[in-house]
Structure 1
Amino acid sequence: MANMQRLLRQVLSYIRKNPGKAQRRLHSAGETVKQRTGGRYNRHIDKATGMASRYLDKQSGRPGHGSPHNRNGGYGSGGSAPKYRP
């Protein structure tokens, strides 16, 4: 278990230091899987790589939706969730 945690820390460190390379590797892996499956699962692969890409953005600290720099929680300029009105 300790080896997996160490490996995860190393991967996250690499992502933070090299966000562009990590994105390119992710895209390359997705394209390889699409080619190997003959295009049967393109929709699923695109969804998975999109979610992984958003995760990489969040881990690398790049501004955007869901990043640590987006302090208002994604609710516009007000910074708070919309009020419930029945």
Structure 2
Amino acid sequence: MANLQKLLKQVLSYVRRNPDAANRHLRKAGETVKQRTGGKYDRHIDKALGGASRYLGKQRGRPGRGGPHGRGHGDGPGGPPKYRP
């Protein structure tokens, strides 16, 4: 169980530092799952990916992560990334 918690902390750390890359990986995983399931669960996959995308958008605006000194650059004029199937 300790290894799973350590892995989860590492994943969350990566997501906080690289929300755009995490969103790209998430989209690719979603498309792969859709293809493997033959479209049977598309509605459920889209809903899950939309929630995850909203979470990633919130990570971009966390204090101490954005701005010129952090790795992120804030939401910018376009806002947080959105999942688009």
Task: State the TM-score bracket (shorter-chain normalisation).
Answer: 0.5 to 0.7
Residues 1-86 of structure 1 mapped to structure 2, 5 A cutoff: 1-58=1-58, 60-62=59-61
4+ runs deviating over 4 angstroms: none
Structure with larger RCO (C-alpha < 8 A, sep 6+): 2
SS at match of 1:44: helix
RMSD of aligned residue pairs (Cα, Å): 1.5
Q: Distance in 1 between matches of 2:39 and 2:5?
A: 34
Structure 2 unpaired stretches of 5+: 63-85
Structure 1 unpaired stretches of 5+: 64-86
Which structure has the greater CA radius of gyration?
A: 1
